[in-house]
Amino acid sequence: MIGILLKDKAYEQDIRELLMAFYPGESFVYQQEEDVSFCVRGELLEEENGAGVYALCLIDGAKRAYKTFDVDYCNRFETKNKIKRGLYQILSMRTERELPWGTLTGIRPTKIVMTKLEEGWDKDKIFTYMRETYHTSKEKIELSIEIAERERQLLSQISYKEGYSLYVGIPFCPTTCLYCSFTSYPIGKWEGRTKLYLEALFKELEDTAEKMKGRTLETIYFGGGTPTSLSAEDLEKILKKVENTFDLSHVTEYTVEAGRPDSITREKLQTLLNHGITRISINPQTMKQATLDLIGRRHSVEMVKEKYYLARELGFNNINMDLIVGLPDETLEDVRQTMEEIKAMAPDSLTVHSLAIKRAARLNMQKEQYKGLKIVNTQEMVDMTARYAREMGMEPYYLYRQKNMAGNFENVGYALPGKACIYNILIMEEKQTIAACGAGTTTKVVFPEENRLERVENVKDVEQYISRIQEMIERKNKLLSQIKLGR
């Protein structure tokens, strides 16, 4: 347990997140020095109109480590970075290690780089800025610049002002995985009742289409959950509803996550093809059967191959696969074996996730039950997946991070030329309005001319979403109506 002692809470979250990056899985206690491994004290001294000297102290038994620096609370951005740099230096000395992303704890590091590119900065200037401001490693800066440049090229045909994307959330899964905390409900508990969810979703889709009239729908993404947890009949109804409700004449990309192989059937795949789906995901996570059994995936390694080749046989020519590095008890050799299997299958794109254990995941909530499991993610593992992806002819095209990631690494999407997912870039870089429908979804409205983004969230609980659908619609309408006024 780590103690956090602060005179004010202005930068409490920033301090806690950096501590979490160095000490993933640790718990924190506030304003207490007893019964802790060590504690961090922070306070603003000699304050006058928000300016003064900020003092950081790491107290570790009889040892003390200090950092002091001038700050101006009126400049939150610079003050935050100074505090995080000071804390980073103290923690780096204590642990005798550096973090690959330095002080960056947000989920969108490439967004920083893309902004600088759009402002006309050259690569050398961006590199220096990232190194001095965030202590980011050389390798991660180079990766960020490569991806940001590729994102700019891929988004060059997208209209930020007049276009928009549609996200449809299907919050059902065959089962809940050990590491997962996404909004998902076992489909078995909703057998015979999915009609209620569809009725509410259809109301929201209708209203959203009405509010977005006059704008160009460019990409559609069905996520969850696992959309293919639904029956072929329910999928048919939803896809027809989208076709009959929205103008799809300018849609260039239409993705449906068929992530869980045990949710895929020939009939469902044919239904997706019949409705013009251009991209699907079939996600093994790993090709080690013992791990699949441990994490609660009800498919086998052979089933992954069977469903993948079935999709190819039916005519899908843009198939993504998701993998997770850092799964419990997996070694470098296990990762190598998974990559060999994936290379032999030759998907069109590959998303490599570093395991992130969320607070609500069973792996975290039931720590005692799983305390014997070893969770290891190393730079060597991450580098291996990158090397295999490039050997398969793929290029990295988007990147994001999550809190509590094993090894403090990142998630990277790789794709063959022409097979990158534009929606994935848009959701991470927040360049275009995304209208989201369904339980647990978030609508993001972008105002490009004002460099402003606003969001509104739907409730996560499916029962609540159904009973409060009119409230969800009205909340979203208040935000969506602003784009019409601003056009």
For the segment 286-331, what is each residue's pLDDT rounded down to a tens digit? 999 999 988 887 889 999 999 999 999 999 999 999 999 988 889 9
* pLDDT over 90 at 201, yes or no: yes
Tell me what pLDDT residue 376 has: 65
The number of residues making up the chain comes to 487
Average pLDDT over residues 191-219: 95
pLDDT digits (tens, 9 = 90+) for 235-253: 999 999 999 999 999 999 9
What is the spatial distance between Cα 321 and Cα 337, in angstroms, rounded to a whole number?
A: 15
Any idea which of 10-19, 236-245, 302-311, 358-367 has the lowest mean pLDDT?
358-367
Distance CA 432, CA 444 (A): 8
Query: Which domains does the chain possess?
Result: 2-95 (3.30.160), 109-154 (no CATH), 163-474 (3.80.30.20)
- CB under 8 Å to 251, separation ≥6 — which residues? 217, 218, 219, 220
Separation CA 164–CA 454 (nearest Å): 14
Predicted local confidence at residue 364, as pLDDT: 44
Question: In which band, very low, low, confident or very high, does the pLDDT at 407 lie, cut at 50, 70 and 90?
Answer: low
pLDDT for 405: 62
- Say yes or no to pLDDT of 232 above 90: yes
The C-alpha atoms of residue 304 and residue 317 are separated, in whole angstroms, by: 17
Q: What pLDDT was estimated at residue 31?
A: 85
- pLDDT: is 31 or 345 the higher one? 345
**Cα distance between residue 389 and residue 58, in whole Å:** 42
The pLDDT of residue 406: 59
The number of C-alpha atoms within 13 Å of 162 and in the hemisphere containing its C-beta is: 6
Which letter does DSSP use for residue 355 in this model? P
| pTM of the model as a whole | 0.90
Percent pLDDT > 70 in the chain is 91
CA distance 60 to 41: 11
Q: Is residue 375 predicted with pLDDT exceeding 90?
A: no
Say what angle helices 332-345 and 301-314 make with each other, to 10 degrees.
20
Contacts of 84 (CB under 8 A, 6+ apart): 14, 15, 18, 103, 105
For residue 429, which of 165, 107, 142, 208 has the smallest C-alpha distance? 107
Element (H, E) at 96: none
pLDDT of residue 354: 87
41-79 tens-digit pLDDT: 999 987 787 789 999 999 998 899 999 999 998 899 999
For 110-126, the three-class secondary structure string (H helix, E strand, C coil) is HHHHHHHHHCCCCHHHH
Identify the pLDDT of residue 260.
87
Confidence band of 374 (pLDDT split at 50, 70, 90):
low
pLDDT at 395: 98
* Pairwise CA distance, residues 171 & 180, whole Å: 13
User: In this structure, how many other beta carbons lie within 10 angstroms of the beta carbon of residue 247?
Assistant: 14
Return the H-helix or E-strand segment holding 177.
none
- The 10s digit of each residue's pLDDT in 157-199 is 999 989 999 999 999 887 665 555 555 577 777 788 899 999 9
**Mean pLDDT of all residues belonging to the chain:** 90
